[in-house]
Structure 1
Amino acid sequence: MPTTIRDFLERFRPAGAPGAAAVAVPSDRRSALAAELEPVFALLADAEVEQRRMVEEARRRACAVRDAAREQATGLVNEARGRAAAERAAVSAAVQRTGTQERQALMAAASEEAARIEAGVSERTPLLVEKALRSIEVMLGDDMLGDEATPTGGGGTS
């Protein structure tokens, strides 16, 4: 049952030719539209099949590109790891060279300081020995001189 008067009247509109009134037969618009659009939908079916084929091909190509990119990324990571190991070795060698150079510089400075101290000691040693001997002589004083003077001086009473 039609829901509106317009729907009801629409069924009778295309039925009959202009001119004298005739018995009207309701037209079947749905079958007419379906018959009119059927060739278009048939053409679209081929396009739909082509579209599905293209989407599937695009998926396959995307998978191939992704797999190739994954392989390339793995190669780059491995290469970077190898280079990182080489860089670490180079940096380690540079640090060792720097450490060796610093150690050599410290040793040279220490040797220079030791030579300077030794030169100062060599200059002062004779004076310090002489001063020490004088101090000993002063401490021992005349006791030592008196004992030595008696046997060699000849002025004793023995």
Structure 2
Amino acid sequence: MTVTRLGDFLQRFRPGAVPGAPAAVPADYAAGDEAELDVVFAALADVRDACAAERSRGESRAAEIRERARAEAAAVVSAARQAAEAERARAAAAERRAADESETAVREAERTADEMRARAEVRVPAEVARIVDEVRALAGGPS
């Protein structure tokens, strides 16, 4: 007994034609498929339009958010620049105060040094004379 294969079995049901030139144009199965899908795509047209509208709203919203972010960033940069300028001014004022204090300290030190020199000029000759007298007295010489 031989087993019939499925392909051989189905071959029996293949349409047969009369020998010779074809009498009709073969069926266009692709056109049938396309017509069948037109109904599906037509039913999806509303969904496609809704998606396009949603995308458009999303793009508009994104543009608004970007613009707001740019404005906020510009405000932050402006505030930072103002703060930096104010800090520079405070630092410059502190530096000027420190320089003024240093100048005052130098002038005070110079004044003190001048006073000490003046006192030394007055006192040194008398002190030298006193010390010379004491040394002579210790050595037994004339005072």
Scaled by the length of structure 2, what TM-score is found? 0.63
**Higher relative contact order at CA 8 Å, sep ≥6: structure 1 or structure 2?**
1
Partner SS state of residue 52, structure 2: helix
Give the residue type in structure 2 aligned to 1:118: A
Q: Aligned pair 1:109/2:109, yes or no? A: yes
Residue 121 of structure 1 aligns with which residue?
121
Residue 34 of structure 2 aligns with which residue?
34
Unaligned runs of at least 5 residues, structure 1: 1-17, 128-158
| TM-superposed deviation, 1:50 | 2.5
Unaligned runs of at least 5 residues, structure 2: 1-12, 128-143
Runs of 4+ in 1 over 3 A off after TM superposition: 18-25, 124-127
Residue 74 of structure 1 aligns with which residue?
74
Q: Which has the larger radius of gyration?
A: 1
Scaled by the length of structure 1, what TM-score is found? 0.58
| TM-superposed deviation, 1:126 | 6.1
Partner SS state of residue 27, structure 2: coil
Residue 100 of structure 2 aligns with which residue?
100
Give the residue type in structure 1 aligned to 2:113: E
Aligned residues: 111
| TM-superposed deviation, 1:59 | 1.6
RMSD, aligned α-carbons = 2.8
Residue 135 of structure 1 aligns with which residue?
none
- CA 1:125–1:81: 2 relative to 1, 3 Å: same
Q: Aligned pair 1:51/2:51, yes or no? A: yes
| Identity among equivalent pairs (%) | 30
Residue 14 of structure 1 aligns with which residue?
none
Partner SS state of residue 27, structure 1: coil
Q: C-alpha deviations, 1:19-59, integer Å up to 9, x for none?
A: 88577862221221112212332244333322321221122
Q: For residues 104 and 20 of structure 1, what CA distance do their matches in structure 2 show?
A: 120
| TM-superposed deviation, 1:125 | 5.6
Q: For residues 125 and 100 of structure 2, what CA distance do their matches in structure 1 show?
A: 36
